[in-house]
Amino acid sequence: MRMSLAQRVLMTWLFTLLFLIVLVLKLDDKAHWNWFLIFIPLWIFDAILLFMLIVKIARKCKSAYDRSGGKLKRKVWYLCAMLLKLGFLVALCARLEHITDTKLTFVFIPLWMLLIGAMVDIGCNTFPRDQTD
């Protein structure tokens, strides 16, 4: 399952546009839907990305290609990042629907972990360790 760059950009743009339209309708009190329904475009987008990522990880592990290398570690980081994002979205929706009464500080912990991990990832890729022995 390989998507071209144009297809990925178009898919991202369409799901983001759909989410923003539904979000504006909810915030303007035109739609009295559940918050979990408002986030459906993001759930679908994340499900597609997770499926593609799991397939790529399974292919890498099955072919025993580069098991100790950085590409598999990078894919695992992407998987962790997606799970942190999903955890944040579930906690946010639960808080907005008053299912749970947790503080916003605790709701945002997965997002902060995701952002810190992204900064570390960017830093490691910008300033790679010297591999000369």
pTM value > 0.85: no
For the ranges 3-7, 67-71, 77-81, 103-107, which has the lowest average pLDDT? Answer: 67-71
Range of the domain at 43: 34-126
Residue 26 forms part of a structural domain: no
Residue 10 forms part of a structural domain: no
pLDDT (mean) for 3-24: 91
Residue 58 has pLDDT above 90, yes or no: no
- For 22, residues 6+ apart whose C-beta sits below 8 A from its C-beta are 31, 33, 38, 40, 41
Q: How far apart are CA 15 and CA 6, in angstroms?
A: 14
What pLDDT, in 10s, does the model give residues 85-127? 999 999 999 999 999 888 999 999 999 999 999 999 999 888 8
DSSP 25-46: HHHTTS----HHHHTHHHHHHH
Quick one: how far is CA 121 from the chain centroid?
15
Residue 133 forms part of a structural domain: no
- For 36, residues 6+ apart whose C-beta sits below 8 A from its C-beta are 93, 97
Residue 9 forms part of a structural domain: no
Residue 129 has pLDDT above 80, yes or no: no
Residue 73 forms part of a structural domain: yes
Domain count, the chain: 1
The predicted pLDDT at position 65 comes to 61
